[in-house]
Amino acid sequence: MELSSCTSLEKLPSKWHTFKHLIIRKCPKITGLTIPLDDPSSNNPLSQLEYLRIIDCDSLTSFPLAKGSLDALKILCIGECEGVESVKEITVESLEEMTIDSCVNLGSLPRCLHTLSHLTRLEISGCPALEVEDFPPLPITLSCLIISNCPKLKSLPNQWHQLTSLQELWISECQSIRRFPKGGLPPNLRRLLIRGCENLKQPAREWGLHMLASLKALFIDFCMGGEGEKVWFPDSWSLLFPSSLTHLRICNMWNVERLSSGLRSRLSSLKHLWIDCCPKLMYLPEDGLPPFLQELYIDKCEILKDRCSKFTGDYWPLIQEIPLIEMDWVRIQ
Predicted local distance difference test score (pLDDT) of residue 15: 62
In this predicted structure, the answer to whether residue 101 has a pLDDT above a threshold of 60 is yes
Give residue 274's pLDDT band: very low, low, confident or very high (50, 70, 90): very high
Who's near 330: CB < 8 A, 6+ residues apart?
none
**Taking 50 as the threshold, does the pLDDT of residue 294 lie above it?**
yes
* pLDDT score, position 64: 61
Question: Which amino acid is residue 121, in one-letter code?
Answer: R
pLDDT classification of 225: cutoffs 50, 70, 90: very low
Tens digits of residue pLDDT in 309-332: 999 999 999 999 999 999 998 999
pLDDT range class, residue 183, cuts 50, 70, 90: confident
The predicted pLDDT at position 77 comes to 94
Q: What share of the chain is helix, strand, coil (3-state, %, to 5)?
A: 10, 20, 70
Provide the pLDDT for residue 325. 96
Check residue 66 and give its pLDDT. 53
**Domain edges within the chain:** 1-37+44-106, 192-333
Least confident of 27-36, 91-100, 251-260: 27-36
Burial environment of residue 2 by CB neighbours within 10 A (0 to 12, 13 to 18, 19 or more):
exposed
Mean pLDDT over each residue of the chain, to the nearest integer = 86
pLDDT, residue 269, reads: 94
Q: Chain centroid to CA 278: how far?
A: 23
Q: Where are the alpha helices (DSSP H) in 22-153?
A: none
Report, as an integer, the average pLDDT of 69-82. 89
Q: Which range, 71-75, 204-208, 285-289, 297-301, has the best average confidence (pLDDT)?
A: 297-301
Per-residue pLDDT at 271 exceeds 80: yes
- Residue 230 or 88, more confident: 88
Q: CA–CA separation, 296 vs 333, rounded Å?
A: 10
What is the predicted pLDDT for the residue at 170? Answer: 97
Q: What phi, psi does 13 have (nearest 5°)?
A: -60, 150
The least confident of 65-79, 166-180, 209-223 is 65-79
pLDDT for position 206: 83
Q: Does the pLDDT value for residue 21 go beyond 60?
A: yes
49-53, 67-71, 203-207, 226-230: which range is least confident on average? 226-230
Work out the percent of the chain whose per-residue pLDDT is above 90.
51
The arithmetic mean of pLDDT across residues 227-238, rounded, is: 50
CB atoms within 10 A of CB 278: 25
Query: How much is the pLDDT for 38?
Result: 45
CB 177 within 8 A of CB 157: no
CA 230 – CA 281 distance, rounded (Å): 14
Task: Identify the pLDDT of residue 246.
Answer: 97
